[in-house]
Structures are given as C-alpha cells and as structure tokens.
Amino acid sequence: MSSARRDLESGGATKNATTYSAAPTNYVFDPEVHWTSWLVPLFVAVNVVVFVVAMYVNDCPRNNLAFEGDCVATFLGRFSFQPLRENPLFGPSSSTSAGMNFEFRTVVFVVKFDLTEMGALRWYDVVNQHEGWRLVTCIWLHAGIVHLAANMLSLVFIGIRLEQQFGFVRIGIIYLLSGFGGSVLSSLFIRNNISVGASGALFGLLGAMLSELITNWSIYTNKAAALFTLLFIIVINLAIGMLPHVDNFAHIGGFLTGFLLGFVLLLRPQFGWLEQRRFPAGVRLKSKYKPYQYVLWIVSLILLIVGLSIALVMLFRGESGYDHCHWCHYLTCVPTSRWKCNDN
C-alpha cells in the first residue's frame, strides 16, 4: 500500500468523506512537455463568482419568510445564508422540495426560485420546456459554501496536476463532457428534484485517471499497487453515493464519460518510441502507440458516442431510466432500517 500511495500522492491529495486523488505520476520516463495550469484555476474562479452571484440574488434578509428560522451570518447583508434548518450547507434557497446531498452532487431542499432560475437541473424544464442548457449550467451552481469548498478543493488537487500533464484542451474537454454526461444520466432517473454541483465533472476526472493508468500501463512503476489504490478510492466514492439524498447517477454518469474519454484523449507514447528518436533518421523499431491502445481508443469513442446519443434520445422522449433498469434505484439509495428510498 505504501508504494501505491507514493504513486498517487505525487500527483494529488485525498479528502475525508469522499476522496479524490490526482493522477499517478511515477512514470518510467519524465514527460518532455509540462503545461502551465490556468484553465482549472479559471474554472474555480467561475464557480466562486457564480456562487457569489447566487447569494446576491438570494438576498436572505429581504426574502426569508422565517418559517425555518433566521438568516445566518447577517453581518454579510444580502449575502447572508438561509437558515441552517433549510440549507445546512450555508447557501441560498431553491424552488423545489427534495433531499440534500452533503457531499458532491446536491439535490436541494424547499424554498424559492434562485437556483432554479439560475440554471439548476430539473427534468421537467429540460424535457417539457426544452431547456437543454440546464444539463451544462447546473455544474456551475452549488447549494452552499460547504458544497462549493469541497468541490473546488477536489478540483484543484485533481485538475491542476492533470492539466499540467495533458494540457488545458484535453482536461477541459473531459471536465465539461463528464459534467454533461452526469447531468444526462441524472435526468434519466431523477424527475422530482433539482440537482446542482460539479461532482459529475469531478468523477469524470477520476474516471479519466483510471483509464489513463490502464492505457498507459507500460510506463508506470508499481502499477498493480497504483491500480488497486485507485480502484479502492473509486469504490469508496461511489459507495458514499448510495446514501439517501445523494445524486449518485450524476456521479456514475460523469465517471463513465470520463473513463471513456481517458482512453481517447490521454494516450501516451510507449517508452521505446521516445528512445528511438535518438536513432539515425529512417531507423524506427517501434510504433508510437501499442495495438491495445488503438483498440481501446476506437472502442471507447464508439461507446461514448452511442451511449450519449441513446441517453439523449431517451431523455427528450420523456422516457424514464427505471423503465429499462428496474434495479437501478439501488445505485443511488440502498434502503436500511434507518431510512427508506423512493423517487425523491
């Protein structure tokens, strides 16, 4: 386990309840190209600005009806938070009753219009009002400062290292498409709640880390231990998503999208190909990529296009994912003696 941790810790960090980690960086060779990370910090800044705007629009002192108590941190003026009994994550209100995910994808509680009007994900608006843009805007909204801080810390620890290794174009594509994929799968299964948060995109980066390790298997040391540790982190993250009021479909959709995109976008040349650049012109002994990398690239691209296309067709036809997968409710909530699970 210690060798695996050395592989992973060189690229990132972990979190308490839900753990994210940056990509392993203990390669057999050092990459020649090292990008300066600017897109991930920009994403963080945009999320913070959007949250500040949401709090400004929320204006708790003016709009709070005091049914759940008084505003919190009133010295902040119109930026003060909703009562904790209404929103324990220190944030604004929403307009639809639902549960609250205290981790990384939030389905929010009762109150007004703020998050919904700003672009929170809601099945009725996406399908019946033709507001497909909510599939993207929801990943920039957060239910509270606790939710925002947890996601942004994870994004910094994962995203900056990945962007330094692979550049802003590839990591930006993975982040945005994974967030989109998480929103699509969430909408297929969750109809009665609204959902906000960047966790689908974050799980996409986590999935891309796994596929990057697999497709570039030959350039890692301690590869088996690194794979075991990364799989352990992924399982723990997804298992936490089975608690009630957690939108685990967004986690799973983002993870699967990022996993497939990792095979497509995060290939590295095999070690021998880099070494042979020192040979005389015309002497080439190895191809740039191994055959299995090409196979994974083709299969993953096909699965990604077909999967998203089918999901979008089902969504805009108004079909429910549960009609085709009756047991899938166990992926987002497992009933116990302490709580029950329903479509909320």
- CA 199/CA 178 separation, integer angstroms: 9
What burial letters (b/e) apply to 116-138, b meaning 16+ CB within 10 Å? Answer: bebbbbbbebbbeeeebebbebb
Give the pairing of strands 194-196 and 121-122: antiparallel
Instruction: Please indicate whether residue 251 is annotated as part of the active site.
Output: yes
Asked if residue 216 lies in contact with residue 288, where contact means CB atoms within 8 angstroms, the answer is: no
Burial of 273 (0-12, 13-18, 19+ CB in 10 A): middle
Residue 234 contacts by C-beta under 8 Å, 6 or more apart in sequence? Answer: 206, 207, 210, 255
Residue 302 contacts by C-beta under 8 Å, 6 or more apart in sequence? Answer: none
Beta bridge partners of 27: 220
The catalytic position among 94, 187, 199, 300 is 199
How many Å separate Cα 231 from the centre of its chain? 16
The catalytic position among 142, 147, 245, 251 is 251
Strand order in the sheet with 121-122: 106-107, 194-196, 121-122
Identity of residue 292: Y
40: which 2 tokens?
């991930």
Spatial CA neighbour of 182 closest among 235, 251, 120? 251
Helix or strand or coil: residue 256?
helix
Identity of residue 282: G
Active site residues: 199, 251
